[in-house]
Amino acid sequence: MRSYIVPIALLIGAIAGCRGTFPIEHRMPPLLIPADARPRAIAVETFEVGAETDPALGQLATRVLTNRIANSTHYELAARPRSGTLVLGGRVRCKITDEQAVRPEQNDEPVQAVAADVTVAIAGATETGDPLFSIVVRPTPADRDRLAGYATEPELLGEELVRACIEAFVADISPRTVTVRGHTPGPLSGSGRTRRAIGKLGEDPAGAVVELTEAVDENPDDAAAWNALGFLSEAAGDLEAASECYLRAIDARPRAAYRSNFERVRALIERRDAMRLDEE
C-alpha cells in the first residue's frame, strides 16, 4: 500500500486511558507552503493596484503584510531577498458600487450604501524568481458581515476588507494548531498492534506509521488505524492522504470523531484549491 512514513513534529494532548475517544493537538504545516519549501525569511515587495483602485490600498496591503511578518514568531522579515527567502508580492483590486440596503435598526427603511468588491492576488517566489504559488484571496462572508457598519464609508470599507484578506493570507502561510479526534479500541474490538501504535504517536510517529500500515494491511476494516494514519498524514501536511485515510475510517466504522476529522480536512483542501489561480 501507499507509504505514509513522513517526518513530523507532534504536539500530543492528553490520551485518556486505554480505550475511547481522545483529542490530539498537533502543529499543522502551512496550508500554502510545501514543507520542503519552508523559507527562513520573507521579503515583501510593493503591491500594485488594479484599474479603478485607490493606490493607497496597495500601500496598505504592503504595510499590513510587512508588519505581520515582522511580528511573526515563524518567519524573519528580510529587507531584501537572500538564500532561503520567500518573496511575496501582488495586486489589489477594489471596486466600489452604490446600492440600497435595509437597516433593521432604522425600521427597515432602505438607505443608500456602498459595496466593495475586493480581491488581493498574491504570488510567492524564491529569491531567484522561481514561482512557488499564486492565489487570490477574497473577503469571507463573515468578514462582510463584521464590516457591515462601514456600508456608508467606502474608503474605510475597502481598507478593512483588504486588511482582512491579508490577515487570512498570513494565517494560511503560518503553522496552526489543530485538534484531531482519535479513538483507541478496546482489547476485544481492535488489534494489539493498533493500540500500541496509537500509544506512541507522540514519541515515535515513524514507528507508529509502520505498525498502523501493517494493521490496515492485515485488517482493511481497522477504523482506528486508518484514523490514526490520517492524523499522521495531516500533521505532515499531506491533506489528500489524510482525507483518504479518514474516509477509510468512516467506511469501516462511521464514528462522529472520524467524520469530524474528514470534514475538517476536506474544508482545508477546498479552501486551498479555491485560492489557486489558473495557470493562464
Query: Which tens digits make up the pLDDT trace of 8-25?
Result: 333 333 333 345 666 777
Q: How far apart are CA 276 and CA 133, in angstroms?
A: 8
Q: For residue 154, is it within any domain?
A: yes
183 and 158 within one domain: no
Among 172, 192, 214, the domain boundary falls at 172
Say whether both 210 and 161 belong to one domain: no
- In eight-state DSSP terms, residue 276 is B
Same domain, 39 and 154: yes
- Within 135-255, residue ranges assigned H as helices are 141-146, 154-172, 192-199, 205-218, 223-235, 239-252
User: Which of residues 188 and 123 earns the better pLDDT score?
Assistant: 123
Same-domain status, 164 and 190? no
Residue 10 within a domain = no
- CA quadruple 57, 34, 226, 249: dihedral positive or negative? positive
pLDDT score, position 111:
61
pLDDT digits 0-9 by tens, 215-240: 999 999 999 999 999 988 988 888 99
Kindly report whether the global pTM for this prediction surpasses the value 0.75.
Answer: no
Same domain, 82 and 161: yes
**185 and 166 in one domain?**
no
Based on the fold, state whether residues 167 and 225 are members of the same structural domain: no
* Average pLDDT rounded to a whole number, residues 246-264: 93
Residue 9 resides in a domain: no
Domain that holds residue 41: 35-172
Domain count, the chain: 2
**Distance between CA 33 and CA 41 in Å, rounded?**
13
Q: SS3 for 55? A: helix
The percentage of the chain sitting over the pLDDT mark of 70, rounded to a whole number, equals: 79
Confidence of residue 263 (pLDDT cuts 50, 70, 90): very high
Cβ atoms 167, 23 nearer than 8 A? no
**Residue 15: inside a domain:** no
Asked whether residue 11 is domain-assigned, the answer is no
Instruction: Tell me, yes or no, whether 245 lies in a domain.
Output: yes
Give the model's pLDDT for residue 262: 95
Report yes or no: 222 and 211 within 8 Å, Cβ to Cβ: no
Q: Which of 172, 195, 225 is the last residue of a domain?
A: 172
Give SS3 for 34. coil
CATH of the domain at 113: 3.30.160
Measured CA to CA, the distance from residue 215 to residue 259 in angstroms comes to: 21
Q: What is the CATH number of the domain that holds 231?
A: 1.25.40.10
- Residues 165 and 181 occupy one common structural domain: no
Q: Which amino acid is at 89?
A: G
Domain assignment present for residue 4? The answer is: no
Sign of CA pseudo-dihedral 167, 173, 175, 181: positive
The answer to whether residues 188 and 144 belong to one domain is no
